[in-house]
Amino acid sequence: MINFHGGGFTLGTSHDDARWIGTVVDECHAVVASVEYRLAPEYAFPTAVDDGADAVLYIAEHAEELGIDKNKIALSGFSSGGNMAFTVPLRLYDYLTDFARPMSRNPREAMFRTITSASQTGPVQIHSNSSSSTLGAAKPSVLSGAGEYNLNVPAAGASKQPPATQIEKPTISLCAIVPWYPSTDYTRTREQRRATILRKDQDLPALFTDLFDESYLHPPDTIPLDSPYLSPGITTDEHLRNALPSDIIMHTCEWDMLLKEGQDLHERLISKNVDKNVVYTMIKGVPHGWDKAPNPVKPTPGVKEHYLKACNELRRVFEDNTSSAELMDRRRKSVPVVR
């Protein structure tokens, strides 16, 4: 499982979800990598999504040496990390199918980001839950190279990047995603989101949400808020159907400004046009980020229960996926299957 921490794309570290990661390790006997993606304001949209996709590419490419079955890779994330659990598969799908989408409304801004990314060397550090050693690093230019925009002009001193279509690309098939209280639609203003919250006293302070948005969605007026890499809840049915794995284990919070957009996406995911197997839980009586209470002596009630339920579903997916992989392998080898 590959996990993305929360923090509005601006705060947080790969260690924030240690309780969840520990539960997955114990209950699913899984290897968990938590991604230390780059944060805003130094790295604005779409850096976090590209870093997350690069992390998946790295894990899949090095699966054998890491002791990982690349047919059983799931994603999870909290809040903005929950957003990444949706947007990273969408970004990967477009990259692997050579479908280029603009990252900015401003062509000059898109060109600037594309060209400068070719010379950047900041690695994506992926930490295991058991140590702080780096499993590996993926170059940010893997997903943001000039070829994605059909621009072949490298930055000064940088080697010319080959077009994306000339790069040999792996086959990646994610088996599940586990988003926790994700943001899914940035075309809704914070005011519109706050108007839907059931308990105003449980809302996130505007100081933080404004900081998050002003940092990540920068420069303002150039970010396409309807981009699927930012607002997965409003991308096309075809995109959701083709890019997302079949199994989605999704959680929202009753007292959360993000509840409505999460519910709307859930309805789309289970519609006949998308047809995903969604195990959806709206956790009652809790605000956004309820499971991240800072008191380790007295954990918030219900956290362990919901973590265990999610792990039960995740374990089922891993086991089902193993059976399918073994069946396909036997068929390839023309070995009779005994049922």
DSSP 248-269: EEEEEEEE-TTHHHHHHHHHHH
Please tell me the CATH superfamily of domain 2-332, with its number. Answer: Alpha/Beta hydrolase fold, catalytic domain (3.40.50.1820)
Residue with more model confidence, 101 or 8: 8
Tell me what pLDDT residue 167 has: 62
Break the chain into its structural domains and give their ranges: 2-332
The per-residue pLDDT of the chain, averaged, comes to 81
Tell me what pLDDT residue 165 has: 47
Give 294's DSSP letter: S
Residue with more model confidence, 132 or 243: 243
pLDDT tens readout for residues 220-232: 889 999 999 999 9
* pLDDT average, residue stretch 65-83: 94
Tell me what pLDDT residue 9 has: 97
CA distances to 42, 201, 204, 234, 260 from 257, in Å? 26, 11, 8, 17, 7
pTM: 0.80
Contact between 2 and 54 under an 8 Å Cβ cutoff? The reply is no
* pLDDT average, residue stretch 51-80: 94
pLDDT tens readout for residues 172-186: 889 999 999 999 999
Which of 48-52, 102-106, 238-242 is least confident?
Answer: 102-106
Contact between 232 and 262 under an 8 Å Cβ cutoff? The reply is no
Residue with more model confidence, 209 or 269: 269
Which of 74-88, 109-123, 170-184, 189-203 is least confident?
Answer: 109-123
Q: What is the dihedral of CA 31, 32, 36, 39, to 10 degrees?
A: 150
pLDDT tens readout for residues 287-322: 999 999 777 677 788 999 999 999 999 999 999 876
The residues facing 34 across adjacent strands are 3, 127
Inform me whether the pLDDT recorded for 135 exceeds 60.
no
First to last CA, the chain: 30
- The pair of three-digit structure tokens given for residue 299, joined into one six-digit string: 């954990």
Q: Which residues of 11-30 are buried (b: 16+ CB within 10 A; e: fewer)?
A: bbebebbeebbebbbeebeb
